[in-house]
């Protein structure tokens, strides 16, 4: 088969995976190919076991058309999230249905070496319990905290991991050596937006913005259904947007007055620590300062601690301004917000959206759709599996 037909065959397979049932007529409308060539490629996909001919479609006067769908059990894929608070791994079939899933907390003991050993152990256990042979697994798609090198499969210098050693980690090479499975790396914001775009595939969203607010600020943009990439991994660059001239700087790094210095979890913790002594409306004053971390602050917010709620909602307002700036530049159709800060309570999410909406320049003529996503906290792992499936060479 020549390279052009091989590429079209892959595109046909990708199109079928994105739909529950597809007719030959549907595919003819989408691909510039003769009916004979399309029939041949469909026959090859059937013979390879990648797709199956399903129920007959509705007739419009002649014979009922055959409908095609992906064969979910033909292969399986792992999706992996590596983050600062939690990491997770899922095993998926070709319909992206999770067959097994596990999430765990990242602590001071979880060095890169220990994480690779844990992932390898979990992958082996999942394959055994699901009765899936190693040869049937396409590989491991990884969505990780940046900065990183997508091409080299290396996590460069991510900040704020509880354990030591998270610098210049060749995570793909280590996982391939340990597990024997092919591995592909991208930043978690990109795999999250891939996952959410997949979940919204029936709505055919072309332009999407994803924002993750947690220990850091992570963003990804999709235009024309494709990830927008720059000359360097841009996942954390949103956090360096300056929104307050001569404002604070976080951990003696980055820009003064950057969004990250006002919105990220470390910034929120630092601000609360500095203002705690002067506040009379919080029970946190009775706790040791070093114990007042995000989990404690989250519980205080949910228990309606007035001081903590004020700090969280102020942070939400800053985040809304930053998102409005992005929207005014990128003009997405859909904006998805995720991350531990936004997910603390609906009032925080609502505040972010209210501030963002009130600062959109072309409003009310242009109104993007805001959402916390369909996949929420599982978006990174599912998207990592989808990323690998999309890159998979059928040959």
pTM for the full predicted model = 0.88
Q: Is the dihedral of CA 134, 139, 144, 149 positive or negative?
A: positive
Question: Looking at residue 232, what is its pLDDT?
Answer: 66
pLDDT at site 253: 79
pLDDT at 135: 92
Which 8-state DSSP code applies to residue 215?
S
Convert the pLDDT of each residue in 47-73 to its tens digit.
888 888 876 656 555 566 788 888 999
For the CA atoms of 139, 147, 18, 204, what is the dihedral angle to 10 degrees?
A: 180
**Average pLDDT over the chain, rounded to an integer:** 87
Residues 60-78 as b or e (16 or more Cβ within 10 Å = b): eeeeeeebbbbbbeebbbb
Q: Could you give the count of Cα atoms lying within 13 Å of 392 in the half-sphere of its Cβ?
A: 24
**DSSP string of 326-381, one letter each residue:** HHHHH--SEEEEESTTGGG-HHHHHHHHHHHHHT-TTTTT--PEEE--SSGGGHHH
Coil, helix or strand at residue 131:
coil
Domains and CATH numbers, the chain: 3-70 (1.10.10.10), 76-195+379-391 (3.30.420.40), 204-373 (3.30.420.40)
**pLDDT tens, position by position, 81-106:** 999 889 999 999 999 999 999 999 99
Q: Give which of 125, 88, 159 is closest to 375, Cα–Cα.
A: 88
Q: Report pLDDT for 216.
A: 84
Per the structure block, which two tokens stand in for 382? 């599912």
157-174 in b/e burial notation, b at 16+ Cβ within 10 A?
ebbebebeebeebbbbeb
Residue ranges of the chain with per-residue pLDDT less than 50:
none
In the chain, beta strands by DSSP E: 22-23, 51-56, 66-70, 76-82, 86-93, 98-105, 137-144, 148-149, 154-155, 183-187, 208-213, 217-223, 226-227, 334-338, 369-371
- SS3 for 280-292 is CCCHHHHCCHHHC
pLDDT in tens, 182-222: 999 999 999 999 999 988 887 878 899 999 998 888 899 98
pLDDT of residue 236: 66
* Of the candidates 106, 40, 3, the residue with the CA atom closest to the CA atom of residue 340: 106
Pairing mode of beta strands 208-213, 334-338: parallel
pLDDT for 228 equals 84
Query: What pLDDT, on a 0 to 100 scale, did the predictor assign at position 2?
Result: 63
């Amino acid at each position: 088969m020549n390279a052009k037909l091989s590429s079209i065959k892959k595109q046909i397979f990708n199109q079928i995976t994105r739909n529950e049932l597809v007719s030959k007529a549907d595919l003819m409308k989408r691909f510039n190919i003769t009916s004979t060539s399309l029939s041949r490629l469909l026959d090859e996909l059937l013979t390879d076991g990648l797709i199956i001919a399903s129920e007959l479609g509705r007739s419009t006067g002649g014979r009922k058309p055959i409908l095609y769908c992906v064969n979910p059990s033909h292969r399986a894929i792992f999706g992996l999230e590596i983050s600062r608070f939690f990491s997770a791994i899922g095993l998926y079939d070709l319909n992206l249905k999770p067959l097994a899933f596990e999430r765990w907390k990242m602590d001071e003991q979880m060095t890169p070496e220990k994480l690779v050993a844990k992932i390898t152990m979990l992958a082996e256990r999942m394959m055994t319990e699901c009765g899936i042979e190693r040869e049937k697994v396409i590989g491991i798609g990884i969505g990780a905290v940046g900065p990183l090198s997508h091409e080299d499969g290396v996590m460069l210098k991510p900040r704020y991991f509880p354990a030591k050693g998270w610098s210049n980690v060749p995570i793909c090479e280590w996982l391939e050596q340990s597990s024997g499975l092919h591995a592909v790396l991208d930043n978690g914001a990109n795999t999250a937006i891939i996952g959410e775009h997949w979940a919204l595939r029936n709505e055919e969203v072309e332009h999407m913005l994803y924002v993750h607010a947690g220990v850091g600020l992570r963003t990804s943009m999709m235009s024309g259904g494709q990830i927008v990439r720059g000359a360097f991994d841009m996942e954390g660059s949103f956090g360096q947007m300056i929104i307050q001239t001569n404002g604070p700087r976080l951990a003696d790094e980055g820009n003064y007055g950057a969004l990250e210095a006002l919105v990220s979890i470390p910034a929120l913790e630092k601000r609360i620590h500095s203002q705690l002594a002067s506040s009379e409306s919080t029970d946190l004053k009775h706790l040791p300062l070093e114990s007042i971390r995000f989990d404690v602050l989250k519980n205080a917010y949910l228990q309606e601690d007035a001081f903590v709620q004020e700090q969280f909602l102020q942070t939400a307002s800053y985040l809304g301004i930053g998102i409005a700036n992005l929207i005014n530049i990128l003009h997405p159709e859909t904006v998805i917000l995720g991350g531990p800060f936004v997910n603390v309570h609906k009032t925080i999410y609502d505040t972010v959206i209210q501030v963002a909406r009130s600062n959109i320049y072309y409003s009310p003529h242009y109104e993007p759709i805001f959402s916390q996503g369909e996949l929420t906290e599982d978006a990174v792992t599912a998207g990592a599996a989808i990323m690998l499936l999309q890159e998979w060479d059928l040959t």
